[in-house]
A and B are shown apart, each in its own frame.
Chain A
Amino acid sequence: MNIRALIPLTIFIVLVVFLSIGLTRDPKKIPSPLIGKPAPEFNLPTVLKPNQQVSHKDFLGKVSIVNVWASWCAACRQEHPLMVAFAKKHKTPIYGLNYKDQRSDAIRWLQAFGNPYVNSAYDVAGTAGIDWGVYGVPESFVIDKKGIIRYKQIGPFTEDIINNELIPLIAKLEQES
């Protein structure tokens, strides 16, 4: 058989391989440039107590999770029971970043579905959201003891991700000084 006849087939196979790799990658997931960088500065009132402030300094000295959420976000609602369950089982604090929401809606949401958060920052204008590179909700970050962002989850957590990625990562970060 003429070897030249195989050229189109070879090109086709190479194309198929590249395209199928492309299909498995989610273009919505933009790698975060913030990983390895200090948590962006912010200073916001909390959702429940408008005169109480929460800031990036609260993350220092412990491993913490920041979960961006909003009452208008359907995927957050799907994720929420997992966060509530996580907060009950683990001592790692979860901070909420309530993104472009109405305070009354946010409070009602927490009352209806439970509040896994130590505190939720109330970012009604979305300015902290921009600084954190948030472009969709939910998004979550894991921050180490030094206040450095070590992990970003785009889209809702799933049980699988929590058990196989989040929990081992937190255990590892707890070991660091």
Chain B
Amino acid sequence: MKPIYLVFFALLITLPWANAYSAFNTYQFEDPVKKKRFDTLINELRCTVCQNQTIAGSNAGLAKDLRDKVYKMVNEGKTEQEIKDFMVARFTDFVLYRPPVKKSTYLLWIGPFVLLLLAIIILIIQIRKRIQTPAVAIEPQQHERVQQLLKTEKKDITHD
């Protein structure tokens, strides 16, 4: 690949993050543990106005407010779970990008695996069927008859 393309692809891959990171350089932490907690949290919380973005990736006003709130809570020494609970109490599990495993989310978590299992079972059944069906053996006379029939003109074998 030409070097120019490499540069292009490198840009293509890194650009989406450029915006997200510039947005929260304003959040300074003295404690690297807290910084890590903050980074994890803002990437796991959904922006409720712009639903397909995390609060890290969104420029919406509410996302910024929520980032500020997370920053404040992290600095107050709140744990990851405490902050998540705070958000869930206000915006439901919906605010979590990884919803907790519980009764109402069983289908969500297990569903894909059930479908996969089902697909594998169907595949196995199909393959077994094909293996078990023996190739049809025919007598030499029958084979000859087939050849003859194939040679016969079409009008002779149509049914009308």
Contact A30 B65, beta carbon cutoff 8 Å: no
Name the B residues within 8 Å of A30 (CB-CB): 48, 91-92, 94
A118 to chain B, nearest CB (A): 25
The answer to whether residues A100 and B88 also contact, given A130-B69, A135-B48 and a CB cut-off of 8 A, is: no
Q: Which residue of B lies closest to A136 (CB)?
A: B49
Determine the distance from Cα of A27 to Cα of B50 in the docked complex, in whole angstroms: 11
**Contact string, A1-41, partner B, CB cutoff 8 A, digits 1/0?**
00000000000000000000000000110111110000000
Interface residues on B, range: 10 to 19
**Contact string, B60-76, partner A, CB cutoff 8 A, digits 1/0?**
01100110010000000
Contact A33 B88, beta carbon cutoff 8 Å: yes
Is B89 engaged at the interface, CB distance under 8 Å to the other chain?
yes
Binding site for B on A (CB under 8 A): 27-28, 30-34, 100, 125-127, 129-133, 135-136
Give 19 new A-B contacts, CB below 8 A, not counting A125-B65, A127-B69, A135-B49.
A28-B51, A30-B48, A30-B91, A30-B92, A30-B94, A31-B94, A32-B92, A33-B90, A33-B92, A100-B61, A126-B65, A127-B65, A130-B69, A131-B90, A132-B90, A133-B91, A135-B62, A135-B91, A136-B49
Determine the distance from Cα of A135 to Cα of B69 in the docked complex, in whole angstroms: 14
Of the A-B pairs whose beta carbons lie under 8 Å apart in the complex, a sample of 9, sorted by A's number, is A30-B48, A33-B88, A33-B89, A33-B91, A34-B90, A100-B61, A125-B65, A126-B61, A135-B91
